[in-house]
Structures are given as structure tokens and as C-alpha cells.
Amino acid sequence: MAESPIRTRFAPSPTGSLHIGGLRTALFNWMFARKHGGQFILRIEDTDQKRFDPDALRTLMEAMRWAGLDWDEGPEVGGPCGPYVQSERLAHYQRWARWLVEQGHAYPCFCTPERLEQVNQAKAARKEPPGYDRLCRSISPVEAQARVDAGEKYVVRFKAPLEGQTIVQDVIRGETAFDNHTIQDAVLLKSDGFPTYHLAVVVDDHLMHISHVMRAVEWYPSYPLHVLIWRAFGWDMPIFAHLPVILNPNGKGKMSKRNPPRDKFGNVIPVMVHHYMENGYLPQAMVNFLAQIGWNFGDDREVFTIQEAIERFTLEAINPANSALPADKLDWLNATYIRNLTTPELAAALRPYLERAGLVVDEERLLKLAPVVQTRLKKNLTEVVELAGFIFRPYEDFQPAPAEQIIQKKMDAAAAIRTLEESMTIVQSIDDFSTATLLAAHEALAQRLELTNGQVFGVLRVALSAQTISTPTFETMELLGRAETLRRLALALDVVRAAA
């Protein structure tokens, strides 16, 4: 086993965008393959025609690539075990389902959905657990074949053992024994000729030479069934690791896009990776974050590169317990990564969010703005709009703040008026219209006026931004330019005078 190449796979069902938990599963598989110099395969499990979403595959691959998870084999890149889309592999499943029937490990079932429904209802009435009553299991192979040949509709069911136990092995959970009588005669091949997950996963993991399977624990209850199917085929099994579930931030139930969790302010906490992409989260932060759910770097380190994580990653270190999504920690990590960006990187990252808000952004001011907002983005890139969007909004649209916001604490209207007048004089006459020079001149002004820096700068900041929370005063002046600064100071002066 140690000699065979490490091959892992991520096998999502393309029913929508990628779920954050799915990305974590993909990440672990990818890290494991990269660590061991093996291959990471992307396989698309689209065997449910009813839930087919034509956009999903594209969206899903986009999210994977955004996160930096490249695949060695799979859609768009091909590979020796293709095709990698299950709906294009029907012949394999049908062939192996037939083989199982021939070997006596499976049987055709002619029961209609209606009958299945009746069986379950009857069982429910008797307070028995639901499940197929194995009616067709007793049909003789000859008769069954005849009915199949006659064109009767059927599914292929697995012939699960009626007694005994099946012991399963899991790297992070050890052994678990399941009583065989609790295992259903699961459908392997549907009446439309498509396989169910149970058949497809075993056939494909074998045909694609997967060495290690990391999948969500949601699969654990059907794991013994899979083990039985592997044994029926007589194939060597991969090593399995069932990953803990990522629960809602409040720990109640798993993350669901139908019923998304909310933070303490009532804001929706995204479940799909695309929402994080749109909401200004950096992929490096997301990957760092996800790597810490159910696994940890060690050395009390919280911030690390994916390369560093790969070096240390082991299956055995995965924590078996489910965990609530620590959404606050993602915000913090994202802000940490934002702070570590270079100015050009940050400017480039910011631009789409500003533009999406309808702002016309010139590169020169964007490059000046980037370092100013860098430490002020607490969660994500979208916050730049609220904090500094006013810089790029058309000047003619500017509406000054009300007088009570312009006038600072422990200060009267007269003082605010003085401040604005004096500042206008400075702004008009100063040679070097830059942050540092403006700051020095206004510090002197505060002294002259016998006001604090906070009072003077505050009046001006609100006058310029019409916001109580904004970029620092003199950076704002530089960003707006002398003429616009002067115009806004005058506007504020009018407002305060009118109110006085």
C-alpha cells in the first residue's frame, strides 16, 4: 500500500455553487495529495438527472480555482481514467451492476415506487423502521432474467447479508461494527439506467485508483454498505477518513443554504463559496481558515501559508468532532491577510468592489486610498465602499452633513465656524497640498484656537466626508484635492452658520 501512488479525489454533485463544507473537503483531499506528491482528481457526480444544474459545474470549478485547488485529472484537464463526469460513464456502472447480478450479489427489483411507498406506510403503521421488504430478492434468477428480457422496468438492488456484522475502518474514528440486518438492499442501478451514489462511488474509486477517500461524515451510515459492495467486487479498498461536519455558527445543525445562519446583528452568514468570493474574502484567508476547522497547524500558530500547512498535514490529526463555523475568525483572518497585502495588490483587490457599487475609480487615487483603508477593513473588502466610497462619488452629488454632526463634542457653533474659516484659509494658501503639511498646519491651528486636535480634525473630517466614521482628515483632503476640499468646507460653513 505504501508503494502505490497517493490519489485522492473530490467528487461533488453539481447541484449549485460549492458549499463551504465541500470546499473544506476538497481542500483536505488536495493537501493530502500535494503532500505526498500524488494526484488530486476532480470527479463530477451528476447521476441525478432531476437535480441537474447546467451552471453548477462551471461555478464549482471557478470556486475551486479561486481557492487555488488545482486538479491533476478531471473536467477540462482530462486524464487517463476519464471521463470524469459520471453521466458519461454509464456503461461502466451498467456493466458492473450486471456482473454483480451474475455473481449473485445483486438482483433486479421490479417493485414500483407506489409499492415501495405502501410498504413503508405499512411499516410505519407497525412502528417498524422503514426499508425495502426484499420482495424481489426471492425471485429466481431465471424468472428475473425473463422479466428483464420482456422489457419490464426494474432497478438493481444489492443483496445485503441478513445477519452478522460488518466492521468498518476509518483513519480518524477507528473501527465501527454495524449489524448487517440494519443494512438495506440498496438500489445500485436506477430504472433509468443511471447508477446511484453507492454503486458509482465504488466503481469509480476503483477504476480511478483512488488510494485515500476523505469525505463528509454524512456518509458514515452508508459506509458499511460501501464496504460490502467493495467486498462483493473483490477489489482492494482505499483508506477512508470521514471528515467532521461544519455546523452552523450556533452549533445547531449543519450549514444549509436553504436556511442560512445569521450573525448577532442578523446578517446572513454565507454558506456558498461564491458568496465569500463576492463579499470580499481573499482566497488565502479562506483556505487558512478552512484548514483550521477539524485540523490544526500546531505551535499555536493561526496564520500560515497553504504550503506550510501541506507539510504538516496528516489524516490522523483530524479531530473527529463536528464543529460550529467560527465565522468571526474568518473575518479576523481575512482582515489579517488584507493588512499583509502590498499597496498595488490591495488596490487591485479593492477595485471590483468599488466599481460594483457604481463608482468610477481612477488608479492614482485608488493607490493613495489603499494604504489608508488597509487597517480599517475589519472583515472584508466590501467595507471600503461604506468607509471611503464618498471619495469616488460624483462631487456634484455631495450633500453636507447636518450641523450637529459637524460640531464636535464640547464645542459650540462659533468654534466650529472659526475652525472652518481658518482651515479654508490654510487650504487656500498652503504651498504643498499634502497630508503631512496639512496636518502640521492644522495642528498649529488647533493650538491657536485653543481646541483639541480631535475637535478641529473632527469638524473638518465630517465636513469633507459627511460621515462620522471615515478616512482620516488630511488624507481625505489630499484624496479630494484642494478645490473640492475648499468647496466642501464652504458648504459645511453654510450649514453650521444656518443652524447657529
Rule CB under 7 A: say whether 294 interacts with RNA.
Answer: yes
- Of 247, 348, 367, 426, the one binding RNA (CB under 7 A) is 247
Residue type, 118: Q
Near RNA by CB under 7 A, which window of 27-35, 215-223, 394-402, 490-498? Answer: 215-223
Rule CB under 7 A: say whether 123 interacts with RNA.
Answer: no
Rule CB under 7 A: say whether 219 interacts with RNA.
Answer: yes
Residue type, 495: V
Inter-residue contact 385 to 349 (CB < 8 Å) = no
Secondary element (H or E) of residue 107: strand 106-109
Q: How far is Cα 149 from Cα 143, in angstroms, rounded to an integer? A: 10
Binding to RNA in span 164-183, by CB under 7 A: 173-174, 176-179, 182
Rule CB under 7 A: say whether 51 interacts with RNA.
Answer: yes
Q: How far is Cα 171 from Cα 320, in angstroms, rounded to an integer? A: 10
Q: CB nearer to RNA: give 266 or 396.
A: 266
- Of 435, 466, 480, 496, the one binding RNA (CB under 7 A) is 435
In angstroms, give the least distance from the CB of 384 to RNA: 12
Rule CB under 7 A: say whether 187 interacts with RNA.
Answer: yes
Grid coordinates in use for 262?
A: 445569521
In angstroms, give the least distance from the CB of 443 to RNA: 8
* Exposed / middle / buried, residue 145 (Cβ in 10 Å: 0-12, 13-18, 19+): middle
Residue type, 381: L
The Cα angle at residue 409 between residues 405 and 412, in degrees rounded to 5: 85
- Of 349, 473, 478, 492, the one binding RNA (CB under 7 A) is 473
Rule CB under 7 A: say whether 320 interacts with RNA.
Answer: yes
Grid coordinates in use for 56?
A: 453548477
Phi and psi at residue 156, in whole multiples of 5°?
-105, 125
Fill in the DSSP letter of residue 44.
Answer: B
Active-site pick, 257, 264, 329, 368: 257
- Of 28, 40, 66, 457, the one binding RNA (CB under 7 A) is 457
Rule CB under 7 A: say whether 323 interacts with RNA.
Answer: yes
Beta bridge mates, 168 = 176
Q: How far is Cα 90 from Cα 401, in angstroms, rounded to an integer? A: 66
Rule CB under 7 A: say whether 251 interacts with RNA.
Answer: yes
Binding to RNA in span 329-348, by CB under 7 A: 329, 331-332, 335-336, 339
In angstroms, give the least distance from the CB of 149 to RNA: 18
257 is catalytic: yes
**Helices (H), strands (E): how many in the chain?**
20, 11
Q: CB nearer to RNA: give 3 or 252.
A: 252
Binding to RNA in span 372-401, by CB under 7 A: 375-378
Q: Which residues are catalytic, by number?
A: 257
